[in-house]
A and B are shown apart, each in its own frame.
Chain A
């Protein structure tokens, strides 16, 4: 008999959710995580006494408690977590800013419609018709790749509006450059525009602890600092894993959340295409500033997330320079409903820009050069953002940034590709009959998406 019914590689959000699902019905389950902390891409760390979240801008897919079919609430039922006790803070409101126009949106879809009616009067009826179509589209059906750009252009016929809608949807969940798959577009459209942004009460650590507790409650086991070095296989089946320290652990099935390239490397899975095709080109740099106070221009006060482009056209592709500051995301993690900032606690601004992995990798060969590139990019980013916010970070008490190298180091995502492979495997299947993948490369993205992925793959393949 094998040591475990199921071994899950990776203690990120998809792995934890999959673990809860598996352990809940009495299956002996083990999660192995290479780091000393859980959470993967969306974890936390301590710096100068602050608990900083690595990723969190906002969670997507907001749903009020009681809306039973909403993905967020379904997820809670599946994990047997109480949605009633899970306190959420909705966004104040966000905005997409282009040189010629801007569009506000919130968790009330009507606001986006009003904004479109105001700035694109000719486009509002078409937009409403398109939103209806998206609402009934099945993004999980296994159909060939279809261009979201062609779809949008056909329905809206207004390149500016098309790009403005695509910016938030792409930057929060598109592994491809230039265009995105229509199914992915539909998932993101619902997650951001129809459902919306919120923050859980407390920090990312509280959310992750809640998952860990639930997993432990059901008898699940987790090992940290346990990097997997290989997946052991015989013929068409996998038998277990080998850790870097040489230890072998067997299991009836293995679920990997480390992406297609990572899983292929560990298992010797012969990929259909060149490995490069599975390594996403979109990676990012993020700068976090702590400020005593943010003074925003009055028309931008009280926003939660700003998606900006200083160009008329959206340039969603790998930049030729280390970063492309001409478009990006500005997030104010304190600007959610009902969050009270502690008196004289500093406030945070997070700025995200697309980055070029190869250039960062070259710079990282030399410590001093890396530091310099990091500083220059931080300045470029701040200069671009000040075109929108005015001088905002002069008196920052603290700044930290992470780069594609940081992402790669902490998440083992090849090329620092936050959204993983541009080619997804929606079924979660691999050539090995009892090896499955979940998480980013299965196609659901973001915090809620990653957890849904873990749940779905366990339900489909592992509970029988």
Chain B
């Protein structure tokens, strides 16, 4: 998967778990949590959704890697390269 595809997947997952998500002014380098007003339960859903779709196991100590859109892409790129 390319970096752009991964980015789209993340946004699609967020949109899917939060019907109020608004990406208009989203800054890819700022924490998703603050910009989209997400909480830890929502982050769990992102992780679970990635696992369901791509059989990806993301250990809890790696959750900070998912803080911003850019860091998500960096973290997932090697893991999803063959998908």
Residue contact B39 to A74, C-beta cutoff 8 Å: yes
A68 and B41 in contact, given A25-B48, A77-B17, A80-B17 (Cβ under 8 angstroms): no
Residue contact A83 to B19, C-beta cutoff 8 Å: yes
B59 to chain A, nearest CB (A): 10
Which residues on A sit within 8 Å (CB–CB) of B48? 24-25, 463
Residue contact A77 to B44, C-beta cutoff 8 Å: no
A463 and B17 in contact, given A25-B52, A26-B52 (Cβ under 8 angstroms): no
Which residues on A sit within 8 Å (CB–CB) of B20? 66, 68
Chain A 62-87 per-residue mask, 1 if CB under 8 angstroms from chain B, else 0:
00001011000010011010111000
Query: What's the dominant secondary structure at chain B's contact region?
Result: helix
Please tell me which one of the listed residues A25, A74, A82, A459 contacts residue B51 in the complex, with CB atoms under 8 A apart. Answer: A25
Residue contact A77 to B52, C-beta cutoff 8 Å: no
List residues 31-72 of chain B with CB under 8 A from any CB of chain A. Answer: 37-39, 41-42, 44-45, 48-49, 51-52
B26 to chain A, nearest CB (A): 16
Residue contact A69 to B37, C-beta cutoff 8 Å: yes
Q: Is B8 an interface residue (CB 8 A)?
A: no
Of the four ranges (under 10, 10 to 19, 20 to 34, 35 or more), the interface on chain B belongs to 10 to 19
B57 to chain A, nearest CB (A): 10
Which residues on A sit within 8 Å (CB–CB) of B42? 77
Minimum CB distance partner of A68 in chain B: B37
A426 to chain B, nearest CB (A): 17
Q: Is B5 an interface residue (CB 8 A)?
A: no
Residue contact A74 to B19, C-beta cutoff 8 Å: no
Q: Is B12 an interface residue (CB 8 A)?
A: no
Minimum CB distance partner of A81 in chain B: B19
Q: Is B27 an interface residue (CB 8 A)?
A: no
Please tell me which one of the listed residues A68, A82, A83, A459 contacts residue B44 in the complex, with CB atoms under 8 A apart. Answer: A459
Which residues on B sit within 8 Å (CB–CB) of A25? 48-49, 51-52
A78 to B42, CA, bound (A): 8
A26 to B50, CA, bound (A): 12
Which residues on A sit within 8 Å (CB–CB) of B17? 77, 80
Which residues on B sit within 8 Å (CB–CB) of A69? 37, 39
A28 to chain B, nearest CB (A): 13
Residue contact B19 to A84, C-beta cutoff 8 Å: yes
Please tell me which one of the listed residues A24, A78, A82 contacts residue B41 in the complex, with CB atoms under 8 A apart. Answer: A78
A74 to B52, CA, bound (A): 21
A78 to B17, CA, bound (A): 8
Which residues on A sit within 8 Å (CB–CB) of B49? 25
Residue contact B45 to A78, C-beta cutoff 8 Å: yes
Which residues on A sit within 8 Å (CB–CB) of B51? 25
Minimum CB distance partner of A75 in chain B: B41
Residue contact A74 to B44, C-beta cutoff 8 Å: no
A25 to B38, CA, bound (A): 19
A68 to B35, CA, bound (A): 12
B29 to chain A, nearest CB (A): 22
A84 to B17, CA, bound (A): 13
A69 to B41, CA, bound (A): 10
Which residues on A sit within 8 Å (CB–CB) of B16? 80
A151 to B63, CA, bound (A): 38
B68 to chain A, nearest CB (A): 19
B71 to chain A, nearest CB (A): 22
A64 to chain B, nearest CB (A): 12
B24 to chain A, nearest CB (A): 16
Which residues on A sit within 8 Å (CB–CB) of B38? 68
List residues 45-97 of chain A with CB under 8 A from any CB of chain B. Answer: 66, 68-69, 74, 77-78, 80, 82-84
Chain A 16-27 per-residue mask, 1 if CB under 8 angstroms from chain B, else 0:
000000001110
Interface residues, chain A, with chain B CB atoms under 8 Å away: 24-26, 66, 68-69, 74, 77-78, 80, 82-84, 459, 463
Closest 3 pairs (CB-CB, A-B):
A25-B48, A68-B37, A25-B52
- Give me 18 other A-B pairs in contact (C-beta within 8 A), A68-B20, A77-B41, A463-B44 excluded: A25-B49, A25-B51, A66-B20, A68-B37, A68-B38, A69-B39, A74-B41, A77-B17, A77-B18, A77-B45, A78-B41, A78-B45, A80-B16, A80-B17, A82-B19, A83-B19, A459-B41, A459-B44
Write 20 A-B pairs (CB below 8 A) sorted by A numbering: A24-B48, A26-B52, A66-B20, A68-B18, A68-B37, A68-B38, A69-B37, A69-B39, A74-B39, A74-B41, A77-B17, A77-B18, A77-B41, A77-B42, A78-B41, A78-B45, A82-B19, A459-B44, A463-B44, A463-B48
